[in-house]
Amino acid sequence: MKGESLIDIESFLEKSLKNKIDFDDAIYLYNNFNTIDLLYLAFKIKNKINNKIKLCAIINAKSGKCPEDCIFCSQSIHNKCNIPIYPLKSKNEILEYAKTFDGIVERFSIVTSGKKINDDEFVKIVEAIELIKEETNLKVCCSLGLLDREKLKELKKLDVRLHNNLETSKNYFKNICSTHSYDDKVKVIKEAKKLGLEVCSGGIFGLGESAEERIKMAFELKELGVDSVPINILHPIEGTKAYQKIKNGEIKPISISDALKSIAIYKIILPYAEIRLAGGRIYNLRDFQSYALMALDGLMVGNYLTTKGRGLEDDLMMIRDFYNLMG
């Protein structure tokens, strides 16, 4: 690391901790810092605030038959993917799966396919949430689509964190979905924040967007005041439009360097939000997953919606090794 890089890192460290990194700063950092220097800056920021990796896990509680046309999603009826399709799992099935993570992860999220769940499904999910809270020490999150105010109020009473990804920047959203809008998502997030819910919202890197669009999304999330930012990296699943676009050369897969730099820049822009890495890390980062820990506050473990995760013990060992190395 050159002397001038150290000076820049200290000045940007101070600016980030004051929550004053602006768009021009972020573009400058992304374009002028190498991957390791950017990760080092993110690591210093993380250490000043909270040097912990919080774990979370999810259950795909209702799979497939989604009417929305998101190009990346294997559960969309507009994509032709070989995935399990089933209705909402019972409260006891959800509880038993949640119990396998009790004492290991901090948060457990119930995720359902579709634009939004119906009233009967919501009642069953509330019952599952109550069971999890009674029988485990897990904090509960829910990703249930575009919920109305009344359902959000019920989740607030249950002290649930709402998950609703923006997926990409406002400007780029038209390239990934046409059946609902970016503004639909923002409306739900704003309503949730008004009601006092914690919100987990992030997106997917590698959908063909530029680094500038990824940075725009970070500032859009910052403006919304989200509490947690899950970062997924596109794992192209055969049968999805995203897979076909990559195969045809319309989308260039994101490089390991760009993925790591983007994760780091999110921590720099959003120093007080939990930056957590979720789907696609195994496929995209391969042997460099531990590098991402320098910029992360959280990690999703276990299986994802329709793809397999890494062995839990492998992830726990990676985190232990990281802290032994970094101190």
Q: List, for residues 180-208, the tens digit of each pLDDT value.
A: 999 999 999 999 999 999 999 999 999 99
Whether the pLDDT of residue 1 is over 70: the answer is no
Upper half-sphere CA count for residue 126 (Cβ side, 13 Å) = 16
pLDDT band at 326 (very low <50, low <70, confident <90, very high): confident
- Give the separation between CA 212 and CA 246, rounded to whole angstroms: 20
Tell which wins on pLDDT, 161 or 8. 161
Length of the chain (residues): 327
Task: Give me the mean pLDDT over the 92-112 stretch.
Answer: 98
Q: List, for residues 256-269, the tens digit of each pLDDT value.
A: 999 999 999 999 99
- Give the separation between CA 180 and CA 84, rounded to whole angstroms: 24
- CA dist 61 → 64, 83, 85, 94, 303 (Å): 10, 14, 10, 7, 12
Q: List, for residues 32-91, the tens digit of each pLDDT value.
A: 999 999 999 999 999 999 889 999 999 999 999 999 999 999 999 999 999 999 999 999
Q: List, for residues 232-243, the tens digit of each pLDDT value.
A: 999 999 999 999
Contact status, residue 56 vs residue 47, Cβ threshold 8 Å: no
Which pLDDT belongs to residue 308?
86
Which pLDDT belongs to residue 51?
87
- Give the separation between CA 135 and CA 266, rounded to whole angstroms: 35
CATH architecture of 3-326: Alpha-Beta Barrel (3.20)
In the chain, where are the structural domains located?
Answer: 3-326
Q: List, for residues 122-144, the tens digit of each pLDDT value.
A: 999 999 999 999 999 999 999 99
Mean pLDDT of the chain: 96
pLDDT band at 3 (very low <50, low <70, confident <90, very high): very low
Q: List, for residues 291-305, the tens digit of each pLDDT value.
A: 999 999 999 999 999
